[in-house]
């Protein structure tokens, strides 16, 4: 989640890089307090949680199939908790601006949370987002719930884990310029992941595969982030060309984008988006399966 209520700020100030990073961090802290939701559209999160079940092994699938409706309907619960200010720390769990930490593959950023905090400070780490670590925390929480045969918590953490993994596959959840605010593309985040997906949702169909065990969940979570980061420029550049080509000054002023804009955006980004959502459905299943294996492969109660 990110928020954006910052206006009349020039991003082309003559700061050195250190001052610029501090400035951006402060902007994000202000943004959190304004509570404008930025996340995969609710329909996409539901679809990912639902389709993830099709990738599961025969040992785990019956339980998830039995509760498929619940897992789908609660896919957006982390957003609700964040948007309703039920937990002041929830916002940071939905993204990580990995490009704050140098250049790809961002080896300056320790993958271990304590080491990262020691190097960059707790305030910086939380301001720039904690998504990969949240994925691991929820995976471990799901594993504990499975080991204790607590069906309510299994469902809770399964739905939440699906949400975070889906967010990690949204490229704009991995960059400082998450809403095009640095490139005069303000609002691209919502237009791409929510409005475009709402309009063309039925075009996005996925193929079942087989869930696999993840030996190192934290490393894999960061791998997802790095993959998504490499796609962020494609989204921004594609939208920039469309924006310059067909968006009139009136549309910019009113922030009302016509159907032609969204049709072209979908045409340009459909393949990238479909591949990311396909990966998300597969990897949600893999993390669910990994939690089950780490719990000792308990019998999941089907009632």
**Per-residue pLDDT reduced to its tens digit, 238-289:** 999 998 888 766 676 667 888 999 999 999 999 999 999 999 999 999 999 9
In a domain, 285, yes or no: yes
In a domain, 97, yes or no: yes
In a domain, 13, yes or no: no
Residue pLDDT, tens place only, 20-71: 444 444 444 434 333 344 556 688 999 999 999 999 999 999 999 999 999 9
For the question of whether the overall pTM of this predicted structure is more than 0.75, the answer is yes
In a domain, 23, yes or no: no
Among 10-24, 101-115, 222-236, which is the least confidently predicted range? 10-24
In a domain, 275, yes or no: yes
Residue 39, pLDDT score = 59
In a domain, 208, yes or no: yes
Residue 59, pLDDT score = 95
Among 173-187, 190-204, 282-296, which is the least confidently predicted range? 190-204
Number of domains in the chain: 1
Print the SS3 string covering the chain.
CCCCCCCCCCCCCCCCHHHHHHHHHHHHHHHHHHCCCCCCCHHHHHHHHHHHHHHCCCCCHHHHHHCHHHHHHCCCHHHHHHHCCCCCCHHHHHCCCHHHHCCCCCCCCCCCHHHHHHHHCHHHHHHHCCHHHHHHHHHHHHHHHHHCCCHHHHHHHHHHHHHHHHHHCCHHHCCCCCCCCCCCCCCHHHHHHHHHHHHHHHHCCCCCCCCCCCCCHHHHHHHHHHHHHHHHHHHHHHHHHHHHHHCCHHHHHHCCCCHHHHHHHHHHHHHHHHHHHHHHHHHHHHHHHHHHHHCCCCCCCCC
What domain range includes position 108? Answer: 37-294
**Mean residue pLDDT across the chain:** 87
CATH number of the domain bearing residue 56: 1.10.575.10
In a domain, 167, yes or no: yes
pLDDT band at 203 (very low <50, low <70, confident <90, very high): confident
In a domain, 235, yes or no: yes
In the predicted model, is pLDDT for residue 10 greater than 60? no
């Amino acid at each position: 989640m990110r928020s954006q209520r910052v206006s009349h700020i020039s991003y082309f100030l003559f700061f050195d890089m250190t001052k610029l990073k501090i400035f951006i961090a402060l902007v994000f802290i202000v943004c959190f307090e304004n509570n404008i939701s930025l996340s995969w559209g609710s329909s996409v999160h539901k679809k990912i949680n639902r389709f993830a079940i099709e990738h599961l092994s025969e040992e785990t699938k019956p339980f998830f199939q039995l509760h498929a409706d619940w897992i789908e309907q609660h896919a957006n619960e982390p957003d609700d908790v964040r948007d309703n200010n039920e937990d002041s720390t929830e916002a940071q769990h939905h993204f990580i601006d990995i490009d704050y930490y140098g250049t790809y593959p961002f080896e300056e950023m320790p993958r271990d949370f304590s080491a990262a905090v020691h190097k960059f400070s707790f305030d910086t780490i939380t301001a720039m987002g904690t998504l990969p670590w949240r994925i691991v925390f929820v995976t471990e929480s799901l594993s504990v719930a499975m080991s204790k045969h607590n069906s309510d918590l299994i469902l809770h953490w399964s739905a939440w884990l699906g949400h975070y993994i889906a967010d990690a596959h949204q490229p704009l959840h991995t960059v400082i310029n998450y809403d095009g605010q640095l490139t005069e593309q303000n609002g691209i985040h919502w237009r791409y992941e929510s409005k475009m997906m709402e309009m063309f949702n039925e075009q996005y169909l996925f193929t079942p595969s087989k869930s696999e065990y993840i030996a190192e969940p934290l490393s894999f979570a960061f791998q997802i982030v790095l993959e998504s980061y490499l796609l962020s420029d494609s989204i921004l550049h594609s939208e920039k060309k469309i924006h310059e080509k067909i968006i009139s000054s009136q549309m910019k002023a009113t922030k009302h984008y016509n159907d032609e804009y969204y049709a072209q955006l979908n045409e340009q980004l459909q393949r990238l988006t479909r591949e990311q959502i396909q990966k998300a459905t597969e990897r949600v299943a893999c993390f669910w399966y990994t939690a089950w294996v780490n719990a000792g492969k308990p019998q999941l109660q089907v009632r």
